[in-house]
Structure 1
Amino acid sequence: MYLLMLGIALVLLKYLEVGPVAQWSWLWVLSPFGLTLLWWGWADSSGYTKRKAMEKIDQRKQDRLNKQKENLGMRPNKPR
């Protein structure tokens, strides 16, 4: 996501001819978009995206269980 924002910022700076970016080649200005595509391709093919989504779901589930146990007056289990 950071590479995508960097790419958008560089395109705006190049288009508006601001600072030293105005002198850069379009290849360098557009390179963060290529790197973003490479990152997303790797993240999807390696399972990184799915793993992070599952970790987030598991954490939400554990937080919900801990909150319910606290409401019942029980101490939640500590993670090992």
Structure 2
Amino acid sequence: MPLIIIIIALSALRYFEVGPFADLSWWWIVGLFGAAFVWFEFIERAFGLDKRKAHEQLEKARQERVKKTFEK
């Protein structure tokens, strides 16, 4: 996610030609878009990071349900 924020910030700074980013090549930003695509489509899936996050959310919800059940 931080990579996406950096890409958006650099795109805005380059588009509005702010300071030293006015001379930044668009190819750097396109390269970051490519890196983000590769990360989210291939690397994250290969290491199971996408499923791990979903599993953690389900486990948290399950623990909250158990806690509510036993409090009553």
What's the TM-score once normalised by structure 2's chain length?
Answer: 0.83
Q: Which has the larger radius of gyration?
A: 1
Alignment size in residue pairs: 71
Structure 2: tracts of 5 or more residues without a match: none
Higher helix share: 2
C-alpha deviation, 1:5, in angstroms: 1.6
TM-score (norm 1): 0.76
Give 1:64 deviation, angstroms. 1.2
Match of residue 65 from structure 2: 64
Distance 1:39 1:59 in 2: 26
Quick one: percent identity of the two aligned structures?
39
The aligned counterpart of 2:46 is 45
Deviation at 1:31, TM superposition (A): 2.8
Q: CA RMSD in A?
A: 1.4
1:30 Cα deviation after fit = 2.6
Q: Any unmatched runs of 5+ in structure 1?
A: 72-80
